Homo-oligomer: A and B are copies of this chain.
Amino acid sequence: MAVGLTGLPELYPVAGISLGTAAAGIRYRGRDDLVLMEMAPGGTAAAVFTRNAFCAAPVSVAREHLELFSPRFLLINAGNANAGTGKQGLADARQSCKSLAEAGGCRPAEVLPFSTGVIGEPLPLARLQAGIPAVLADRAGDAAAWERAARAIMTTDTVPKGASRRFEQAGRTVTVTGIAKGSGMIHPDMATMLAYVATDAAVERDLLADCLKRAVERSFNRISVDGDTSTNDACVLLASGAAGLPAIDNEGDPALALFQEALDGVCLELAQAIIRDGEGATKFITVRVEDGATPEECAAVAFTIAHSPLVKTACFASDPNWGRILAAVGRAGLEALDIARVTIHLDDVSIVMNGGRHPDYREEMGAAVMKLPEFTIRVNLGRGNHTTEVWTTDLSYDYVKINAEYRS
C-alpha cells in the first residue's frame, strides 16, 4: 500500500559497480536476503552512520574499516540486525568480513558489513558464510542486478526502492544510482534505514564525504527526528571513477554542482520512497514551514507536526482537525512566537490566520484536501525568510498491526 509508488523506476547501471544476491536463509525463506556490492579498485567512498549509542556490531565494524581503506565490497544481510548482540555480535561481523575477503581476494578491512532485521538475535553466521560463494558468483553490473539487490535488502518494506540520475560531464554521461530499504516509521529513527548509492564519477574522498553529508541533510534527515537514527542506519556512497573522467577534487569544480544535484535527486527520491512505503501509510504528507527566522526553527515546527500522533491520526481519517496542527505549532518551543502572524494552509486552502480560523474556511474545503493521497500542510511563521520541508505519513490501524505483529 505504498503511496504513489508502484515499483522501481529505471535504474541505470554504474560503471565499476557490480552486485550479487543470494538466498542465504538468514531469516526469510524463498527469497534473496544477502547482497554483495563490489566497487572496482581505485574508487572512493563515504558513509553516514547511525548516531545511536547502541549501534549495531556491523556499524562499528564498517565505520572502522572505512577509516582504513576504500571498500572493495559491501556485504548486506536482511532478516537479522546483529544489534544488541554484545561481543559475539562484533566477532560475527568481523568474521563475515574475513570470510568474504578470503573468497573475494581482498583484505578484511576492505569489506563493509551491514545488517538489518530483528534486534537481539545472534547472527546466523554459518548461513551467511555459506551464501558468500553464491553472491560472488552472481555478480553483475546491469540494471537487473540493481533491482535484485533492491529487493534482497527489504524487511518490512512492501516495495523495492531505487532511484537514478544522469548528467553530462565533459561530453560523457555520469550516472548516480541508489537503492534503499526502510519503512518502519512513524519516526524513521526507529527502524533501520539503509541506502547504497554509487556513481561512476571520480570524486576525491573528503569532498565525497561533504557531498554525501549535504545530500543526507536535504533528504534522509528531513524524514527524521533530530538526525537520530536506529541502531543500524547507514547511507553509503561509492564513487568508482569508472566513467573515465578527471577526479572532482575541489569545491570550485563546475562538475561538483552537477554531481551534487544528481546525488541530491537520488537521495531525495529514496528518502521519499521510504516515507511513501511507511508502515501502514495511506497518505504521503509534505510539511512545509515557511518564513521562519532560522532553518532550525522551521525544522522544529515541521517535525513537531510530522511526529504528532494526533495530527497523523487526523490525516488517516481525512479529518481536517486543524486545531491539532495549530497546537503542534504552538508547542514546538519557538521563543516569542506571535501567533497572530501564523497562517496554516492545507494545499492552497487557507485555514488559520490571526490566531484563529480563516473567515472563509469551511470544513468541507479542508476535508477535500485531506482525502487526497498526497497533500501539503503549509505553515507560515511570518518572522523570517527560511523554509524547510519534511515528509511524513499518517498513522493508521495498520501501523499498529504491523508493529505489534512484526517478529511474532
Binding site for B on A (CB under 8 A): 51-55, 81, 83-89, 118-120, 184, 186-187, 189-191, 226, 228-231, 308-310, 313-314, 316-317, 319, 321-324, 326-331, 333-334, 337, 339, 352, 354-357, 395-397, 399-401, 403-408
Contact = CB atoms under 8 A, between A and B. Distances in A.
B231 A89 contact: no
Contacts of A83: 323, 326-327
8 contacts: A53-B330, A54-B326, A84-B326, A120-B357, A189-B331, A190-B327, A231-B323, A317-B405
A404 B84 contact: no
A314 B404 contact: yes
A321 B396 contact: no
B356 A322 contact: no
B52 A327 contact: yes
Contacts of A313: 399-400, 403-404
A142 to B, nearest CB: 36
- Tell me the number of copies of this protein: 2
A316 B191 contact: no
Best-buried of A52, A55, A88 by chain B (most CB within 10 Å): A52
A314 B399 CA distance: 12
Contacts of A331: 51-53, 189, 228-230
Nearest to A404: B317
A86 B119 contact: no
A82 to B, nearest CB: 10
What 7 pairs across the A-B complex have the smallest Cβ distances?
A: A119-B323, A86-B356, A54-B330, A317-B404, A313-B403, A52-B330, A53-B330
A177 B309 CA distance: 33
Contacts of A324: 119, 190
Contacts of A337: 53
Nearest to A359: B86
Contact of A86 (B354, B403, B406): B354
A322 B120 contact: yes
A327 to B, nearest CB: 5
A374 to B, nearest CB: 19
B190 A310 contact: yes
B407 A53 contact: no
A15 to B, nearest CB: 38
Contacts of A55: 330
Nearest to A342: B54
B228 A356 contact: no
B187 A53 contact: no
Given A191-B310, A309-B186, A330-B54, A407 B321 contact: yes
A84 B355 contact: yes
Contacts of A231: 323, 326-327, 330
A96 B52 CA distance: 52
B53 A339 contact: yes
A310 B184 contact: yes
Contacts of A54: 326-327, 329-330, 339, 355
Given A53-B334, A84-B323, A231-B326, 18 more contacts: A52-B331, A54-B326, A54-B339, A54-B355, A119-B323, A119-B324, A119-B326, A186-B309, A229-B331, A230-B331, A309-B309, A313-B403, A314-B403, A317-B404, A317-B408, A319-B408, A321-B406, A396-B400
